[in-house]
């Protein structure tokens, strides 16, 4: 007999009927496997937005502390409804708010971090045959203030509970049936992965595959909690996120990620001297603009071209700041392009296989796709290409690395 933590997001519990569906799945699972089950749920979809609208009618900038008091009611509604649906099926169930569990967090309202979780009561309830239902996304400070973990934080609650309870598996039920080699809307031949490593998942998530909140994957990796992503609505095994094993090492690449939200800016002809990078990037950081890729080439005339990417929403602002810097540093000119995308290949196989980068570049060259920027990490190679080449680039790489369905 195992202990599994399940997590159902807002769309999985968005209506009374869907909550009944989740209750049915849980009772079936308990009867079939005899597993102990802890279930983490989000607010019903739409509730968070409804409450945020109310808050805006109260205060121009609603206080983060009171937003937490407000928003945490969303999951509290869901835990009570799910327990009722379970009891209606003859299944004993107990509900817990974050505060009742004592999911202790720091006091960063709206984006609190979990510091400790008390599990004694939950374990006693499990031993007594209950399904334990816990409100996701929320915690409580040592002094009793209600906190939330921020958007998507229910994933983190589930993983943290799984770690604290030493669960055998943490299952994230969502509206997709697993992690795919790439977005099936771009490449219909995309294939569901049976397994992926934590590191690869982190790269995939941060690159735009918005299935799991990054922090929850980090947490699962840190505490070695096997994490499985699967569909609430379609039966299947989903994708297991775990540590590298032999099977995974055989694959060169696990998936192709991409990001349409980037823009590229260049400060050209910057005098090549110490402190230049900092002089350029500090004003950007001070304006709360996040920088993604950075590339710097030294030219022959002792000047350098400095290129980086930002979120497309920050493009105009970034260009303005760069104009000022350009004058100050005596650089030649500022150039920019917000019609670019980033395409990345991700895979732990890169560590043990040579020639992956050259295979990527020649596959793209074969289709006449010009590479505008390159950035690499241990298990990822990213290129920036013109926006119009996105679909072609993804499909080409998907085919080239043998990711397509049989």
User: In this chain, which stretch among 71-79, 266-274, 279-287, 305-313 interacts with its own copies, using CB under 8 A?
Assistant: 71-79
Closest CB to its own copies among 136 and 269?
136
> Nearest Cα to 230, choosing from 278, 176, 277?
176
- Of 127-146, which residues contact its own copies (CB under 8 A)? 144, 146
Task: Work out whether 52 is an interface residue with its own copies (CB under 8 A).
Answer: no
Q: Which of 79, 149, 280, 363 binds its own copies (CB under 8 A)?
A: 79
Length of the chain (residues): 406
Which spans in 287-355 are helix H?
315-329
Closest CB to its own copies among 93 and 340?
93
**Closest separation in Å from C-beta 23 to its own copies:** 8
**Closest separation in Å from C-beta 20 to its own copies:** 7
- DSSP assignment, residue 275? T
**Closest separation in Å from C-beta 83 to its own copies:** 5
**Closest separation in Å from C-beta 369 to its own copies:** 51
**Closest separation in Å from C-beta 18 to its own copies:** 11
Closest CB to its own copies among 144 and 274?
144
Closest CB to its own copies among 27 and 383?
27
Residue 192 in contact with residue 230, Cβ under 8 Å? no
User: In this chain, which stretch among 54-62, 212-220, 284-292, 309-317 interacts with its own copies, using CB under 8 A?
Assistant: 54-62
Per-residue binder mask for its own copies (CB under 8 A), 172-211, x = binder: ----------------------------------------
Element containing residue 158 per DSSP (H, E): helix 153-164
User: In this chain, which stretch among 16-24, 270-278, 349-357, 364-372 interacts with its own copies, using CB under 8 A?
Assistant: 16-24
For residue 13, CA distances in Å to 9, 36, 47, 233 come to 7, 21, 11, 11
Residue 343 in contact with residue 385, Cβ under 8 Å? yes
Q: Which of 35, 45, 73, 296 binds its own copies (CB under 8 A)?
A: 73
Q: Which of 33, 59, 224, 362 binds its own copies (CB under 8 A)?
A: 59
Q: Rounded to whole angstroms, how far apart are CA atoms 225 and 201?
A: 14
Q: Rounded to whole angstroms, how far apart are CA atoms 287 and 322?
A: 12
**Closest separation in Å from C-beta 122 to its own copies:** 13
Q: Rounded to whole angstroms, how far apart are CA atoms 261 and 207?
A: 10
Q: Which of 29, 35, 69, 295 binds its own copies (CB under 8 A)?
A: 69
CA 345 to chain centre: 17
Task: Work out whether 80 is an interface residue with its own copies (CB under 8 A).
Answer: yes
Q: Which of 72, 91, 242, 400 binds its own copies (CB under 8 A)?
A: 72
Task: Work out whether 64 is an interface residue with its own copies (CB under 8 A).
Answer: no
**Closest separation in Å from C-beta 80 to its own copies:** 4
Q: Which of 11, 21, 77, 375 binds its own copies (CB under 8 A)?
A: 77
Helix 214-222 × helix 198-206 angle, to 10°: 170
Task: Work out whether 85 is an interface residue with its own copies (CB under 8 A).
Answer: yes
- DSSP assignment, residue 144? S
DSSP bridge pairs for 295: 307
- Six token digits for residue 161: 């509970």
Task: Classify residue 298 as left (phi > 0), alpha (psi -120 to 50) or beta.
Answer: beta
Residue 9 in contact with residue 154, Cβ under 8 Å? yes
Q: Rounded to whole angstroms, how far apart are CA atoms 309 and 290?
A: 9
**Closest separation in Å from C-beta 72 to its own copies:** 8
Q: Rounded to whole angstroms, how far apart are CA atoms 120 and 130?
A: 14
Q: Rounded to whole angstroms, how far apart are CA atoms 138 and 131?
A: 19
Q: Rounded to whole angstroms, how far apart are CA atoms 21 and 18?
A: 5
- Six token digits for residue 377: 């990490």
DSSP bridge pairs for 337: 264
User: In this chain, which stretch among 33-41, 85-93, 235-243, 349-357 interacts with its own copies, using CB under 8 A?
Assistant: 85-93
Q: Which of 16, 124, 273, 365 binds its own copies (CB under 8 A)?
A: 16
Residues that bind its own copies (CB under 8 A): 16-17, 19-20, 51, 54-55, 57-60, 62-63, 66-67, 69-70, 72-73, 76-77, 79-85, 87-88, 95, 97, 99-100, 144, 146
């Amino acid at each position: 007999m195992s202990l599994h933590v399940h997590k159902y997001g807002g769309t999985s519990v968005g209506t009374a009927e869907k909550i009944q569906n989740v209750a049915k799945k849980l009772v079936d699972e308990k009867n079939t496997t005899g597993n102990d089950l802890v279930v983490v749920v989000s607010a019903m979809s739409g509730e968070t937005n409804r409450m945020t609208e109310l808050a805006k009618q109260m205060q121009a900038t609603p206080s983060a502390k009171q937003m937490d008091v407000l928003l945490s009611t969303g999951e509290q509604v869901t835990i009570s409804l799910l327990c009722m649906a379970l009891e209606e099926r003859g299944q004993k169930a107990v509900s817990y708010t974050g505060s009742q569990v004592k999911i202790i967090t720091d006091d960063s309202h709206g984006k609190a971090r979990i510091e400790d979780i008390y599990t004694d009561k939950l374990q006693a309830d499990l031993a007594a045959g209950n399904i334990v239902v816990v409100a996701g996304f929320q915690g409580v400070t040592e002094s009793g203030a209600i906190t939330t973990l921020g958007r998507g934080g229910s994933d983190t609650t589930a993983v943290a509970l799984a770690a604290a309870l030493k669960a055998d598996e943490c299952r994230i039920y969502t509206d997709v049936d697993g992690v795919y080699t790439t977005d099936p809307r771009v490449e219909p031949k995309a294939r569901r992965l049976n397994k992926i490593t934590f590191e690869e998942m982190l790269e995939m998530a941060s690159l735009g595959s918005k299935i799991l909140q990054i922090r929850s994957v980090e947490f699962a990796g840190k505490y070695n909690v096997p994490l499985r992503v699967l569909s609430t609505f379609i039966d299947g095994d989903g994708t297991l996120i775990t540590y590298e094993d032999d099977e995974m090492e055989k694959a060169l690449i696990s998936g192709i990620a991409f990001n349409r939200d980037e823009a590229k800016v260049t400060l050209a002809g910057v005098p090549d001297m110490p402190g230049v990078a900092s002089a350029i990037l500090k004003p950007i950081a001070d304006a709360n603009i996040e920088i993604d890729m950075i590339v710097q080439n030294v030219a022959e005339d002792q000047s350098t071209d400095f290129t980086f990417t930002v979120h497309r929403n920050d493009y105009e602002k970034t260009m303005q700041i760069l104009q000022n810097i350009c004058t100050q540093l005596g650089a030649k000119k500022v150039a920019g392009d917000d019609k670019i995308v980033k395409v990345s290949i991700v895979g732990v196989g890169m560590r043990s296989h040579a020639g992956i980068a050259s295979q990527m570049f020649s596959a793209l060259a074969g289709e006449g796709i010009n590479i505008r920027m390159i950035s690499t990490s241990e298990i990822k190679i990213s290129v920036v290409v013109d926006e119009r080449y996105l679909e072609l680039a993804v499909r080409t790489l998907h085919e080239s690395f043998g990711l397509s369905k049989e």
